[in-house]
Chains A and B, each alone.
Chain A
């Protein structure tokens, strides 16, 4: 009697730690990498004779301690969410697309130009059209990268980065030429948006609507990837391209669709930068959000839900940059160095997955 295994008891034993601990691997390893990157950066600060404690104290003060600092942080978050989606969505298909900056810039320009055309229209309709123009522009731009990959076998990483350079040149040409507002003398800009076409701030939280839309977009992308057949097909194609092709999955259409969606989100990020922050398209739009977005996506391991906290964290770092420059007499590139070290640490941590027995279900079974 004693040797007969009770199936119910077996099941109860496989819940608990043997389920929770293996799942925590995906959270604990990135956190450890974040810590390692921060330690490496602390060492760097010590070597240049600055105090890491002051640095992290200032990050906390300027990024997260008060309602005012949260407002600073959240103002950085919206473009990071959208830019990260532009990296994460193609990444689930195994593509490293890093030219989101181009889609942000062109999306912002499209929104500003559309805003000049629809100036007299009802605001809701006009804003919708502006957002659509931005998404179409950004989506088309990044979908081109996907199409080149599928149709011609062009490496998507290099193509997307080259296209980002081309997009910025195109942007400069159009803003200083055909679309220039003659009244903008020192800083070439497009015509300023009329007051009714500006996106305002959300009630209670002092941040513009782009933050909420960005968070909703992340949730929607998570549902798309994890809970729909389309997302399942994309994950199969990302894990094993050959298997997906053998199964008859439409890999080409998936790649073009996911790159288009990613680009459309980046374009939407550009729309919010123009409609909520700058009021017109000008050089301020080329702020490098596309590049920080790469780091956000990699830190989140291309999981759209994880993008939300990571974007807030890195938004806080960016928001504290000014205070760190003034108080610690450090150059503005300090945050860039910090980001670079975290990035290297997080990629190095990829090698840790599956190496620790503590994260396997069998380790915890029977305990």
Chain B
């Protein structure tokens, strides 16, 4: 089938396609950060976890030949980073934000250290599912090549929303996030809940990294992440700690990230770097718009250090 010229319609289509493609890592990191923050802790180190996940996922996928084992390895490495963060934060006087920054540096360093030999080799990619069979236009079909992880992320968002709303585990996490004292009165070990929540968040960040290296952009190098792990922290605030909102916010951020390449595809190259900065500007703008100096943010876990 020959490509049909669809003119400027290509821009919104490319943004939609890009939004689905680019949003997946945002979705996973923000869901992970959402679980961690709901327990009252903030993990700024997810950026490092994401980069290490991208490296370990790629390396394991290359060595075993299976991208899914790669994703599992990335999730496992994320759990380890999460456990380290959660364990260190347990000590009195340790600042969770600063530990996040340190683990961001350490994770990035370790990923570059062990990832050097894997920059050249080509690992098998994650498969995608065609949802565009109904259309005759090849562009539409290409745009609706949806990766399995995106669909998994969407399901996970709904699952987490349900978990927080109507399960015991969700309730325990919420109690710990809202009041350590109340949790203690209920006989809940707050540190352990936070440790496990941070580990779960790390696992999801690791998966997000594996998506970056195993699907889109689909290779491992030192510039594989463009700060998704960090933006996710702001994204969760914007999403008001609600997993369903995280899904929509991730799509919005993905669309912003796809703006530059979409315009480039129709020949607009002016100001490439400025369009490249669109997600950061959007994040900052939303953060300014949704923060307030007077009141605590609506829906925020009360034990969270950034909202106190």
Residue ranges of A at the interface with B (Cβ–Cβ < 8 Å): 96, 98, 148, 150-155, 157-159, 161-163, 165-166, 169-170, 172-173, 176-177, 291, 294-295, 298, 330-341, 343-344, 347-348, 350-351, 353
Contact A153 B95 (CB under 8 A): no
In the bound complex, do residue B291 and residue A153 qualify as a contact, i.e. CB atoms below 8 Å apart? yes
Chain A residue numbers with a CB within 8 Å of B80 are: none
Q: Which of B3-11, B177-185, B197-205, B229-237 contacts A (4 or more CB under 8 A)?
A: B229-237
Given the contacts A165-B227, A295-B105, A339-B105, A154 and B287 also touching, CB distance less than 8 Å: yes
Q: Is B129 an interface residue (CB 8 A)?
A: no
The answer to whether B103 touches A344 (Cβ under 8 A) is yes
Verify B91–A291 contact, CB threshold 8 A. no
Cα of A347 to Cα of B283 in the assembled complex, Å? 28
Residue of B nearest to A154 (CB): B291
The one of B99, B109, B284, B306 that contacts A347, using a Cβ cutoff of 8 Å = B99
Segment at the A interface, from B23-31, B56-64, B150-158, B272-280: B272-280
Partner of B93, one of A96, A341, A353: A353
Quick check: B99 and A344 within 8 Å, CB to CB? yes
Q: Given A172-B273, A350-B94, A351-B94, are A165 and B280 neighbors across the interface (CB < 8 Å)?
A: yes
On whether the beta carbons of B98 and A96 are closer than 8 Å, the reply is yes
Q: Please measure, in the bound complex, the distance between the C-alpha atom of A59 and the C-alpha atom of B281, giving whole angstroms.
A: 41
Closest to B292 in A: A153
Name the CB-closest residue of B to A340: B106
Q: Specify the main secondary structure of chain A where it touches its partner.
A: helix
What residues of chain A lie closer than 8 Å to B94, measured between beta carbons?
A: 347-348, 350-351
Cβ of B293 < 8 Å from any Cβ of A? yes
**On chain B, which size bracket covers the interface?**
35 or more
Tell me how far the C-beta of A325 lies from the nearest C-beta in chain B, rounded to whole angstroms. Answer: 11
Q: Are A340 and B109 within 8 A (Cβ)?
A: yes
A336–B283 contact, CB under 8 A? no
* Stretch in B66-74, B110-118, B245-253 touching the partner: B110-118
A159 touches B284 (CB 8 A): yes
- Give residues 104-153 of B contacting A (CB, 8 Å): 105-113, 116
CB distance from B290 to the nearest CB of A (A): 9
Q: How far is the CA of A160 from the CA of B112 in the complex (A)?
A: 24
Residue from A170, A331, A337 in contact with B277 in the complex, judged by beta carbons closer than 8 Å: A170
Choose among B93, B234, B284 the residue that contacts A166 (Cβ–Cβ < 8 A).
B284
**B282 to chain A: closest residue by CB:** A162
State the CA gap A152–B285 with chains docked (Å): 11
Interface string of B74-98 (1 = CB under 8 A from A): 0000000000100010011111011
Residues of B with C-beta under 8 A to A291: 105
Closest A-chain residue to B283, C-beta based? A162
- Of A151, A153, A173, A341, which contacts B271 at CB under 8 A? A173
Q: Could you tell me if B277 and A169 are in contact, using CB atoms closer than 8 angstroms? A: yes
> Is B99 touching A157 in the complex (CB atoms < 8 A)?
no
